[in-house]
Amino acid sequence: MKKQNIRELLVRGEKARKQIFFPLLSDLGLTPGQGQAKILYHLQQEDRITQKELADRCRIDAAAMSRNIDKLEGLGLLVRESNPDCRRSFSICLTEKGYEEAREIRKVFEQFEEIVSEGISQADIDVFYRVMEHMCVNLERFDAGGREE
């Protein structure tokens, strides 16, 4: 495969991923493409973390994280609680409804993993993961203007 086709394969894979995820997330009342499912997924793994910690784990900027938390709080899926360690920040916590939604999201993510890895050996998946991780590191070194940071 030629290097110039990497971009096309990434775009093709992203389009296929959206076709699977968007209807499922919409059915759950979430806005696809905003990171809301990822937020609930990460909170299910570790509840009661600060907004900044959550933004870092989800790789979402602070403004977008704040909007998403507002939306998810409005849906009754999470709450902000005073952070006993820092009066200027809040801990983000799932509600019972949020836990239920996060469990559904976990199922969707697991289903996606099964679909995308069908017929591929674990060894090939391991190689793919290492290559994609390296590509992500390469891409993250550059800013929006294509300049190395």
pLDDT tens string 59-104:
898 889 999 999 999 999 999 888 777 777 788 999 999 999 999 8
Work out the pLDDT band at 144, boundaries 50, 70, 90: low
The answer, yes or no, to whether residue 25 has pLDDT greater than 90, is no
> Mean pLDDT across the stretch 5-29?
86
Q: Quick one: tokens of 64?
A: 């977008």
Q: Does domain 3-118 have CATH number 1.10.10.10?
A: yes
The answer, yes or no, to whether residue 50 has pLDDT greater than 60, is yes
Q: Compute the distance between CA of residue 135 and CA of residue 133 in angstroms, rounded to an integer.
A: 5
> Mean pLDDT across the stretch 47-56?
88
Q: Quick one: tokens of 129?
A: 């993961």
Least Cα distance to 107 among 33, 44, 47, 56 occurs for 44
Which pLDDT score, from 0 to 100, does residue 74 have? 93
